[in-house]
Amino acid sequence: MSQARKTSRLVIRRIRITGWSAVTALLVTIVTFLTWFHIVLPADRAAVDAAFADDRIAVSLSDGIITAAPANAESTTGMVFYPGAKVDPYAYLPAFRELVADGLTVVIIEPLFNMALFDVTPLADATATAPTVTDWWVGGHSLGGVKACMVAEEESLQGLVLLASFCANDLSATNLEVLQLLGDRDDLTDLTAVAEARTLLPSAAEEQVIEGANHASFGAYGPQSGDGEASISKAEGFAALTEALSPLFRAD
């Protein structure tokens, strides 16, 4: 066999080895990526079960959408809600339980890869789960709030609720009603970024701080790495959330 032929075979072999190594590395990266995104902060099972068992509310599930509505009355006000990054969407059912019992419909999106920013669910698909609702809000927790801001810019809505979150797009020229809730024990929300992004909200936007609340106080899950330590219980945090949001939805 000639030296040239031997060299050619050696080169082809090296190319094959390199190719298979690259494919293997790519597959490992993809598997790692998908595994990481599918590991979520789990919801408190007991709190979620209690929400499902509450005969004042009716919870339905359909194609990645969780709808919680009053069981014994027609709801005319609703909120499409985007969870925080890698937080189990069911963790927010206990947080909104009393608001739903009082007349609010909450539609929680189960986002693609457990990241609201990746989700492509049309707003119309979410609102279609509650045909009696005429006045729609959008809201989100943490990165879910960033997604909610993006939706609010594109759709005709009544208002926006931000839980431990802020906008990255400019809504200052809109007529949206906006309520931004923060916790004073939250070590995951960048308060400097919140202050800088304040100009992106309408001038009438309202900000409230829940004393004793941390980042995870807005959902039935936790603890969350890097978060501050809450000085109030989950129940107290949810009660404060209900108190803050009730005036918005009862006004209708």
Amino acid at 215: H
pLDDT-derived band of residue 113, with 50, 70 and 90 as boundaries? confident
What is the pTM for the complete model shown? Answer: 0.85
Residues 151 and 52 in one domain: yes
E-strand stretches of the chain: 57-62, 65-70, 77-82, 104-109, 135-141, 159-163, 177-183, 206-210
13-37 pLDDT per residue, tens: 666 655 555 544 444 333 333 443 4
Residues 102 and 160 in one domain: yes
- The predicted structure's pLDDT at residue 33: 38
Residues 76 and 23 in one domain: no
Instruction: Say if residue 235's pLDDT is above 90.
Output: yes
Amino acid at 246: S
In which domain, by residue range, is 15 found? 1-39
Average pLDDT of the chain is 89
Residues 148 and 203 in one domain: yes
Contact at 8 Å (CB) between 183 and 208?
no
Residues 3 and 68 in one domain: no
Residues 103 and 117 in one domain: yes
Average confidence (pLDDT) over 43-54:
97
Contact at 8 Å (CB) between 115 and 69?
no
- The predicted structure's pLDDT at residue 37: 45
Number of domains in the chain: 2
Residues 16 and 99 in one domain: no
Report the CATH number that the domain containing residue 98 is assigned in CATH. 3.40.50.1820
Lowest pLDDT segment from 1-5, 55-59, 68-72, 153-157:
1-5
Residues 21 and 110 in one domain: no
Joined together, the tokens standing for residue 250 give 């009862």
Instruction: Say if residue 61's pLDDT is above 70.
Output: yes
Residues 122 and 63 in one domain: yes
Instruction: Say if residue 252's pLDDT is above 60.
Output: no
**Residue 150 Cα distances to 92, 110, 146, 169, 244, angstroms:** 20, 17, 7, 7, 23
